[in-house]
Chain A
Amino acid sequence: MRKFQYLSLAVALVMLAAIFAPLAVFAQDIPPGEGAPIIESNFGGDITTLNPLLVADGASGDVTDFMFPDFIAGDPDTGLPVPNGENGSSGALVTDWEVSEDGTVYTFTLRDDWTWGDGTPITAADVQYAWDALASGDVDNIIFEQLVGIESVVADGPNTVVVTFESASCNALNVAAGLPVVPAHAYQELYPTFADMTIDHPNNFDPPTTAGVFTFSNFRPGEQVTLLDDQNFPDPHLDGVIPQAWVLKQVADQTVAVEQFLDGQITLIDSIPIDRLEQLQELGAQGEINFDQAPSASWFYFYFNLADPTNPQDGVDEDGNPIDQGHHPILGDVRVRQAIAMSIDHDALNEGAFNGVSQPIGSYELPQSWAYNGEAAPPWPFDLEAAAALLDEAGFVDDDGDPETPRVATEDALYAEPGTPLEFTLTAFSGNNEVDASTVLIQDQLRRSGIQMNLDIIEFTSMIDLLFSQEFDAVVLFLGPFDPNDPGEVLGVLGADADTVGGGLNAGSYNNPEFEELIRTADSLPGCDQAERFELYSQAQAIIRNDLPIYLIGNRQVPFVAQGNVGNYDPRPRSLRWNIDAWSIPSS
């Protein structure tokens, strides 16, 4: 009997702990609006607009994200669209949705408890107005191109939005989540016609009304943007929005940002320079600051030109038929590319160039994506013997017995004239420590396989010109950010349609119909079974891994830091600021 009583007591205690657990996680010792301001740094340009429909740069997006509702919330752990409130998500309108049988019509139910700052309820009309403006063709924006496949957005009453897609797509929900929400009543007054909504409009930096965690206060060009707490925010994780303000402060570069962070002037840095990693890591280990890392959402990679660089051609003609682009004499042969991959010692690279924060990767999918399959596309091993065997097979031989001089082509070489040295030029951009260090190390490593990689380091914009001209051998690039929830995005970089001289991102002229078919099938699979789609995307990753049109140098862990006195700071895998309204910093 006594045993049973103890057990009952234990169960009751566990239940009580479960009930009060959230309160324990988010301790509230600072009243709403009285926490010290959160100050972040921005070393890009100034914001360009506070109108979410005109946003085209990261800084403006960061600011407006806090001032306007999301249409659909993102899960802080997975990034996938979820009903508002699920798993700690907040600040979005959609509470539920239904999908038509054919998968083309999504009916979203919106919450009815949120108003704009001027007291007007936020309704479906605000979503439809935003769509109408973007789709009108009169508003110069880059958001519309991201709403791929949406045919119409219609408000069906104040709390229902019907989004119709041109065809069924497994990425539809992800696309719909990008629909902006703006105060239709205020915008209609401000902009009599959509054509009036220009980036040089006098109210571009003076939003008529907002609804979010923070509301606009002021913008000092070249210095800072200041937002103040909005206690009208309906989804606070505590009793209200705790920080008094959020400030985006302009700084010269990452180094200055780190110094100001160490001086206590900046609360949070979401990307720190590699050379300060050790110092900040140590401070994190001592508990003086919060130090965390997350996988990068960008590629850092070599872009091999597979086509003849002396005669650049588009990938396909107007009817979609492939155009003969010739072959790069050295890099056109996949065996050479594979030999390059196997000649690179990632461990040495990681130690010498990336301060230990890079992981070898064989898949173009980001590791944080549900579609990532590291087993289907494992990193290339460092194997000099296998590389040598492949080069022999490709017809590039060591003709002088000196392994460090370039091999030369024999008659067996696929595209190179006999006697051609195994040599190519890698064009890199100046001013980046990781690029500088890694390319020099790789140059040295390739020499051991008899591959002469010449380095041409030029200014970034000139390198982009060269890339689009398709007159290069290989370039090294950062590209991103990619959306880990949209595995089909890769076609914009490796699809034949993107192989356009002068502008296409598939500047290396990779063309593989089988790969494209796999991606397209996975993107529009009836029923969108995730396991089936995963299998298709895995096959696509394996193809790119083996074809090697790009060589991913590594997937960096991006370190980020916050001051040690930020209460309730709790970064989650896909969202650092998901509970920013609860961050509490004592005012000094």
Chain B
Amino acid sequence: MRRYIIRRLIQAIPTFLGITILSYALMTASGNPVRTLSFRPGRTPDDMERLAARLGVNDPWPVQYVRWLLGDDWMRRDTDGDGIADTAIIIELDADGDGEPDPPGTRRGVLRGDFGNSFVAGRPVIDILTERFPATLELSIAGITLGALIGIAIGIIAAVTRGGMFDNVSRVIAVAFDAIPSFWLSIMLLLIFSVQLNIFPIGDRCGFTLEPSCPPIYQRLEYMVLPVFVFATGFIAAYSRIMRASMLDILNKDYILTARAKGLTNRSIWFRHGARNAMIPIATFLGPAITSLLAGAVIIERIFNYPGVGSTALNAALQRDFPVVMATTIYAGLATIIGYLISDMLYAAIDPRIRFE
């Protein structure tokens, strides 16, 4: 198992690099961020030029990518220790064209753990994402858990009551949950349950407080109900369909007939013999589920005013905040790779016949 995991992680490296190159190329093709960052009266073209040089966004995109990946502390260096850069490779010694050498490079690059500073906030990207990560995590874990529990339960009950009222209704609901866009559902739920009925708060992660942090989750559950429900709908739909199909397949197996012949109770047949084996395909769905977390979070966090990674990613993309966009891309890429790995491992854990050799 360990060898398999290591092999998968090594295989992930080129995939990961491919994702970052493609993302970087697309992002830089979207235009120069300096123009929007400094769009205000009183700003001169010289100001823009200086800002562009400082951010390094005037360089060709492959140079920008290499700087992002490997840093620039080796590109523009101070070899004699006088605090002024005196040698440069790949990039110019005087990038802003003011006749003076620019300061020595200080960025170490993503491969050395330096994600750079946000163009907009000026702060280290890693700090920004670390601040936002808990909010996304609490939403997504709650959403997946709720979705899995309800979806699996519905799938099992639908399978054992095949053709009945519950089966038909649950299938219609699953299709509806799949078809309804999450942004629309979010807005409708907010309008109905928050604005009209005043049952739940109008967005936010917690109620007003002067304290430096939100209260613990158990004291602010009402703020999580709507966003978690929207998060969960997609999983409920997917899990219930997969579980129903898998369960139906299992219930027709010979060993289930044998179990019936032995006089076992329905509960024992469904849950002890049927459901456990029917869960195997569910495990394979976990990878894509984790991948979809960020995509879902972008919309849901935005609408419910939840301060997570998703809303940060959306704002960064709109503002062309390249370092933040790239960091969230890495986050999504890693989530995908790890999600599929966990999926494979769960597969083996549930079905002892599966080995990785």
A interface residues (Cβ-Cβ under 8 A, vs B): 37, 39, 45-46, 48-49, 54, 57, 140, 142, 145-146, 198-200, 204, 217-223, 226, 228, 244-245, 247, 249-252, 256, 259-260, 263, 265, 460-462, 464-465, 468, 479-482, 489, 492-493, 497-498, 500, 502-505
Shortest Cβ gap from A475 to chain B (Å): 12
A-B contacts, 21 listed (Cβ < 8 Å): A37-B208, A39-B208, A145-B42, A198-B122, A200-B123, A218-B211, A220-B214, A221-B131, A222-B131, A223-B204, A223-B206, A252-B203, A252-B303, A260-B202, A260-B203, A265-B202, A461-B30, A461-B35, A480-B41, A498-B44, A502-B45
Is there a chain A Cβ closer than 8 Å to B329's Cβ? no
Residues of chain A lying within 8 A (CB to CB) of residue B45: 498, 500, 502-504
Shortest Cβ gap from B249 to chain A (Å): 44
Partner of B305, one of A140, A251, A502: A251
Provided the pairs A260-B202, A479-B41, A498-B44 are in contact, do residues A223 and B214 lie with their beta carbons within 8 angstroms?
yes
Judge whether B213 and A220 touch: CB under 8 Å: yes
Provided the pairs A464-B35, A503-B35 are in contact, do residues A252 and B305 lie with their beta carbons within 8 angstroms?
yes
Judge whether B202 and A48 touch: CB under 8 Å: no
Partner of B210, one of A57, A217, A250, A481: A217
Inter-chain CA distance A481–B213, complex, in Å, is: 34
Partner of A222, one of B117, B212, B307: B307
Inter-chain CA distance A500–B308, complex, in Å, is: 40
Is there a chain A Cβ closer than 8 Å to B260's Cβ? no
Stretch at the interface among B137-145, B233-241, B313-321, B335-343: B313-321
Judge whether A489 and B41 touch: CB under 8 Å: yes
Partner of A221, one of B49, B128, B211: B128
Shortest Cβ gap from B92 to chain A (Å): 18
**Residue in chain B with minimal CB distance to A219:** B212
**Which 8 residue pairs are nearest across A and B when measured between Cβ atoms?**
A222-B307, A199-B122, A503-B45, A218-B212, A500-B45, A221-B131, A503-B48, A252-B305
Shortest Cβ gap from A143 to chain B (Å): 11
Which chain B residues (173-227) contact chain A, with CB distance < 8 Å?
194-195, 198, 202-206, 208, 210-214
Provided the pairs A221-B128, A460-B36 are in contact, do residues A199 and B123 lie with their beta carbons within 8 angstroms?
yes
Judge whether A256 and B307 touch: CB under 8 Å: no
Inter-chain CA distance A221–B194, complex, in Å, is: 24
Residues of chain A lying within 8 A (CB to CB) of residue B312: 222
Judge whether B210 and A228 touch: CB under 8 Å: yes
Which chain B residues (44-61) contact chain A, with CB distance < 8 Å?
44-45, 47-49, 54
Shortest Cβ gap from A84 to chain B (Å): 26
B interface residues (Cβ-Cβ under 8 A, vs A): 30-33, 35-36, 39, 41-45, 47-49, 54, 117, 120-124, 128, 131-132, 135, 194-195, 198, 202-206, 208, 210-214, 302-305, 307-308, 311-312, 315, 318-320
Residue picked from B35, B202, B214, most chain A C-beta under 10 Å:
B202
Provided the pairs A220-B213, A223-B214 are in contact, do residues A462 and B122 lie with their beta carbons within 8 angstroms?
no
Inter-chain CA distance A54–B121, complex, in Å, is: 11
Partner of A223, one of B32, B121, B205: B205
Inter-chain CA distance A37–B320, complex, in Å, is: 35
Partner of A263, one of B131, B202, B302: B202
Inter-chain CA distance A497–B307, complex, in Å, is: 42
Shortest Cβ gap from B114 to chain A (Å): 12
Residues of chain B lying within 8 A (CB to CB) of residue A244: 210
Provided the pairs A218-B211, A265-B202, A503-B35 are in contact, do residues A49 and B122 lie with their beta carbons within 8 angstroms?
yes
Judge whether A146 and B123 touch: CB under 8 Å: no
Residues of chain B lying within 8 A (CB to CB) of residue A222: 131-132, 135, 307-308, 311-312
Inter-chain CA distance A16–B44, complex, in Å, is: 56
Judge whether B42 and A221 touch: CB under 8 Å: no
Residues of chain B lying within 8 A (CB to CB) of residue A481: 41
**Residue in chain B with minimal CB distance to A465:** B31
**Residue in chain B with minimal CB distance to A47:** B121
Shortest Cβ gap from A393 to chain B (Å): 35
Partner of A259, one of B39, B49, B202, B214: B202
Judge whether B41 and A493 touch: CB under 8 Å: yes
Inter-chain CA distance A439–B45, complex, in Å, is: 29
Shortest Cβ gap from B72 to chain A (Å): 16
Judge whether B35 and A45 touch: CB under 8 Å: no
Partner of B121, one of A45, A251, A468, A493: A45
Residues of chain B lying within 8 A (CB to CB) of residue A498: 44-45
Shortest Cβ gap from A129 to chain B (Å): 21
Partner of A250, one of B198, B206, B307: B307
Residue picked from A54, A217, A222, A465, most chain B C-beta under 10 Å:
A222
Residues of chain B lying within 8 A (CB to CB) of residue A256: 202-203, 305
**Residue in chain B with minimal CB distance to A265:** B208
